[in-house]
Every structure is written in structure tokens, then in C-alpha cells.
Structure 1
């Protein structure tokens, strides 16, 4: 049970840190647009696909 609580606390701290980074970046550069968010999601999906393909080719 304590490992579960520790993991949950770690995730909460990571989210808080991420929120601080986003807030700081938006204060400096303006808000992130929906188009930018979708572009980054697309890049992440593509990177995951490539990683999966490279892993399958290595096996």
C-alpha cells in the first residue's frame, strides 16, 4: 500500500512541476494554441510508431 501512495505522490509532484513549466512558458511566449498541441501530439504518435518499428526490426 505504501508503494502505491508513494507512486501517487510522485505523479502529483510531477504534474505540479509540469504545470509550473507550462505556466512559465505561457507567461513568456503566450498561450499554446490547439494547433500547436495537435502538432505535438502528432509528433509524439509518429515517434512512438518509429520506436515500435525499430524495436520490431531489432527482434
Structure 2
């Protein structure tokens, strides 16, 4: 058995606790909301990559 498996389980447990806490405070989260948030995060990551790429200048 590797150390990786227990670490991942701890991460999953922590994530499940965060989800449960958020749902207790804000109500249940639906698949559409999850999909919308995932898309928002994907777009933000893509924009960060564009912003971090070196600007090409026409010399």
C-alpha cells in the first residue's frame, strides 16, 4: 500500500466536509450550478494562461 491512497482519502474527506458545510449554509448544490462553476473556473484558468504568456511583438 502506498502513502498516496490515504492522502487522497483525506483530501476527499476534507472536500466532502467543505461541501456539506457549504450546503448546510447555502442549500443543496445542483448539477447545473456545479457545471456553471466548473466552466467559470476553466475560463479563468485559460485567461491566466493568456495573461502569463509572453507578449509577442512585431519587431
The TM-score normalised by the length of structure 1 is 0.71
Larger radius of gyration: 2
- Which residues of structure 1 form unaligned runs of 5+? none
**Structure with greater helix percent:** 1
Kindly report structure 1 stretches of 4+ aligned residues shifted beyond 4 Å. none
Deviation digits for residues 23-46 of structure 1 (CA, Å, limit 9, x no counterpart): 122122210022211221111111
Question: Residue in 2 aligned with 1:42?
Answer: 39
> 3-state DSSP class of the match of 1:57?
coil
**Structure 2 segments unaligned to the other structure (5+ residues):** none
Please give the TM-score of this superposition, normalised by the length of structure 2: 0.71
